[in-house]
Amino acid sequence: MKSLVRHLALLSVLLLAGSAGATTLTLDNCDAYGCAGSDVFLTVDSDGSGNWNITLGLDSTGYYGNLDGVVQAGFKAIGGATDVTLVSFSDGTWSDAQLAGINSSGLCAGGSDPDFVCTSGYANIETDKVYTWTFFVEGGTLLDQWTIKFQYCNQGDTDCKGHLISAPGVPVPEPSAALVFGGGLLAAATRLRRRR
């Protein structure tokens, strides 16, 4: 009986370790959603205290559009967040993040909604470059389906109604977390079989 309790404890620890890893949505073929040849990704990692470290990215390697920059960047991945901070970004100048959606009628003008995060600014699009935005989101719960959003526009366009990316998808755990989880199950099953 003690052996079974030990195995269940081990399995519980491994399950917790497996579920604590990052989850990622990568969309490398999202032209139907307006990506214009770019690849987009979103990685969400729990900090263990009910908050989230999030990296949003755009890879412009295959970009074929004629607009020269990105003016809005945002996502939907956490439901019911209480606050958001833009921690860092790789290029350009960006405003403080806010709980609001990206909207083609104005910068972060999608209305206040704790499920959407948005920042506005400008980063020039260069070929073969990866742009990243890092956010810290307080509170909320991880959603089952995410949406990555960007808006392309020309730098001089003060009333941008330009190309809007709105790419939905279902995120998956990163391989490292899945391997820990699978390895734990395999080890536990092997030990339980030997005991019988």
Q: In this predicted structure, what is the pLDDT of residue 167?
A: 93
If asked whether residues 90 and 15 sit together in one domain, one would say no
Contacts 24+ apart (CB under 8 A), 7-11: 7/188, 7/191, 7/192, 10/184, 10/187, 10/188, 11/184, 11/185, 11/188
Q: What is the mean pLDDT of residues 34-44?
A: 95
If asked whether residues 167 and 196 sit together in one domain, one would say no
If asked whether residues 186 and 111 sit together in one domain, one would say no
Q: Looking at the predicted structure, is the pLDDT value of residue 5 above 60?
A: no
Report percent pLDDT > 70 for the chain: 77
Q: Looking at the predicted structure, is the pLDDT value of residue 88 above 70?
A: yes
- One-letter amino acid of 119: T
If asked whether residues 196 and 101 sit together in one domain, one would say no
If asked whether residues 144 and 57 sit together in one domain, one would say yes
Q: CB of 91 within 8 A of CB of 58?
A: no
Range of the domain at 74: 30-172
Q: CB of 85 within 8 A of CB of 96?
A: yes
Q: What digits encode the pLDDT tens for the residues 90-120?
A: 999 999 999 999 988 888 988 766 699 999 9
Q: What digits encode the pLDDT tens for the residues 178-190?
A: 444 455 544 555 5
The total number of structural domains that make up the chain? 2
Residue 150 forms beta bridges with which residues? Answer: 73, 165
Kindly state the helix (H) or strand (E) to which residue 121 belongs, with its residue range: strand 116-124
Report which of residues 131 and 113 the model is more confident about.
Answer: 131
